[in-house]
Structure 1
Amino acid sequence: MAVSIPSIRKSGVNYFLEGFALIKQPGLRTFVFIPLTINLVLFASVMYFAFGQLEAFFNWMDGQLPEYLTWLNFFLWPLAVLTMLVVMSFIFSSVMNWLAAPFNGLLAEKVEKHLTGQNLNTGGTVDLIKDLPRILGREWIKLKYYLPRAILFLILFWVPVIGQTAAPILWFLFTAWMMAIQYCDYPFDNHKVPFNDMKFALKNTKGTSFSFGASVTLFSMIPIVNFIVMPVAICGATAMWVDKYREAYKNPHIVGE
C-alpha cells in the first residue's frame, strides 16, 4: 500500500551539496576515510599500470610515424590521458559500489544517527560480516535492474536521426535516475525496506530524485573530484531519507506498492 511522503521544500541539488558539509563532520570522517582510501589505492594501482601501457603504446607509435609527424604526440598524449581518466573514473564508480557496499551502508547509518540522534541498532562488526551476503545481494538486484535498461538505451544510440538526437538526453536522465537509486538505497536498505518499495518512494518524489541524481552524475564526470562523489552522495541521500522518507518508512511492514 502507498504511504504518505512528507513535503519538504528542498531540492535534490541541495541534498547533494549538503553531503559536502556532512563528510567533514568529526564523527563521520572515519567512515568516509575507509571507502575513500580503498578507492584511491585501487585507482592509483590501476592507473599506474594503465600509464605504463599507454607509454609503451606511444613508444611503439613513435617508431611507426615519420619524423615530420612526431609533433602529434604533444596533442595526443594529453587527449589520451584525459580520456583514460574519464573512462577509468566511470568504471571505478561501478566497481567501488560493490567493493565499498558494506562501508557505504555503515556510513549511511552513522549519518542518520548524526542527523537524528538515534541509533539504528544494526549490530557490530560481526553482524556486518554476517550481513554481507544480503548486502551484496542488494547490489546484484540493482545491477539486474540497470543492465537491461542500459543496453536498450545504448542500442537507441544506433537508431539514425531520432535515436541519435534523443539518446544522449535519455541516457543522462536514466543515469541520473540510477544515481538516485544507487545512493538512496543505502539508508533504505539499512531499514530493510524492499528494493521495489524504495523505487516507489523515489518515484513519488521524482523532482527531488532526478535533481539529486543529476548532481551526482555531473560531479562524477569530473576527474579527481569524482573520488569524493561516493561519500558525498551517500551523506546527501541519507539526509534526504531523514527528511522525506524516514517517518513513513521506518516500519517497513507498512510499505508496499
Structure 2
Amino acid sequence: MQLTQGMEYFFAGFSLISQKGLKRFVFIPLLINFLLFGSSLFFLYDWLTQGIAYLTGMLPDWLSWLEWLMWPLAVLVVLFSYSMIFTVITNFIAAPFNGLLSEKVELHLTGQKVNDDGFVDVMKDVPRMLGREWTKLCYYLPRAIGFFLLLWLLPVIGQILWVLFTCWMLCIQYNDYPFDNHKVAFNDMKRHLKQQQSLSYGFGFAAFILTAIPLVNLIVMPVAVCGATKLWVENYRQHYRN
C-alpha cells in the first residue's frame, strides 16, 4: 500500500542520518534547528506566562474558573503560530544545507554525484535556493490562511482538511530538496507528487506526527530530507537521468 510505503520512506531517514559519511552533513541543519528552537522557547514561555496572568487578572471572581480553559486554548494558538513562524525561518536558513545533505544522501544511495559543483559554485547557487523557498512560501501562505479559517468555521471537517493540507505541505517541503538539486521546476515537482498522492500523503503524515512530538521534532528536518531523497531516488530519479 502506497500510504504505508510513504511512511516507511520517512522513517528510513532515521537510519540514513547515522550512516558513515553523512553525519557531518546532518549536523549543521540539526544545529540550526536546535539553536533557533532552544533560544526562542524561553522567550515563548515567558511571553505566554505573562499573557495568561494578564488575562486572568482581568477576569471577575465569578469567572475565575475560566483560567483552566484559557491555558490549553492559549497554548494551542501560540504553538500553531509559533510552529508556522519557526518552520519558515528554519527552512530559509537551512535550505542550502538541506540541499547539500540531500545531494550527499543521493550519492550514498546511488554512487553517482548529482553535480560536480565546488564550494564556490554552491555559494553562488544560494540565492536561487532561497528563491525556491520563497516560491514554496507563496504557495503555502494563502492556502494556509484559507484552511485555517475552515479549521474554525467547520468543526471536525475543517480539522481533517487542515491535517491533510499540513501533510501535503510537509511532503512538498522536504521532497523539494532532491527535486531542486536536479533543477526540476516547482510545478513539475508538484505534478509528480500528485501522481502518487498516497505515497506523498503517507510521507507527509509521518512527518506531521513526528513534528508534533516535543524534542523528537528537533531532528525531523534532517530525517525528512534523508527520507525524501530516498523516495526521490526510488520513484522519480529515473525520469531525469541523463
TM-score of the pair, normalised by structure 2:
0.85
Task: Give the equivalent residue in structure 2 for 1:25.
Answer: 19
Specify which of 200, 208, 218 is matched with residue 217 of structure 1.
Answer: 208
SS of the equivalent of 2:177 reads: helix
**Cα distance in 1 between the residues matched to 2:69 and 2:141:** 35
**Alignment pair present for 1:153 and 2:147:** yes
Rg larger in structure: 1
Residue in structure 2 matched with residue 105 of structure 1 by the alignment: 99
Question: Could you tell me how far 1:80 is from its partner in structure 2?
Answer: 7.0
Tell me whether 1:164 sits opposite 2:158 in the alignment. no
Give me the whole-angstrom Cα distance separating, in 2, the residues matched to 1:61 and 1:144: 35
Distance 1:33 1:198, change over 3 A: same
- Identify if the C-alpha distance between structure 1 residues 73 and 174 changes in structure 2 by more than 3 Å, giving closer, same or farther: closer
Match of 1:195 among 186, 189, 197: 186
Q: Percent identity?
A: 55
**Does the 8 Å CA contact 1:86/1:223 hold for their aligned counterparts?**
no
State yes or no: 1:181 paired with 2:172.
yes
Deviation digits for residues 178-204 of structure 1, max 9, x if unmatched?
Answer: 111111110000000111111111111
The answer as to whether partners of 1:89 and 1:223 remain within 8 angstroms in 2 is no
Equivalent AA in structure 2 for residue 114 of structure 1: H
CA RMSD of the aligned region, Å? 3.0
Between the aligned partners of 1:244 and 1:131, the Cα distance in structure 2 is 26
Structure 1 stretches (4+) deviating beyond 6 angstroms? 58-66, 72-83
Which segments of 5 or more consecutive residues in structure 1 lack a partner in the other structure?
1-7, 252-257
Other-structure match for 1:3 = none
AA matched with 2:11: L
Q: How many Å separate the matches in 1 of 2:83 and 2:144?
A: 18
Q: Which structure carries more helix by proportion?
A: 2
Matched, 1:124 2:115: no
What SS does structure 2 have at the residue aligned with 1:231? helix
Q: Which runs of 5+ in 2 are unaligned?
A: none
Conserved? CA contact 2:3–2:203, under 8 Å? no
In 2: Cα distance, 1:250 partner to 1:9 partner: 26
Q: 2:224 matched to which residue of 1?
A: 233
Residue equivalent to 1:207: 198
How many equivalent residue pairs? 241
Asked whether the equivalents of residues 146 and 178 of structure 1 are also in contact (C-alpha less than 8 Å), the reply is yes
TM-score, length of structure 1 as denominator length: 0.81
What's the offset of the Cα at 1:140? 1.0
Q: Does 1:50 align with 2:41?
A: no
Offset of residue 239 of structure 1 = 0.1
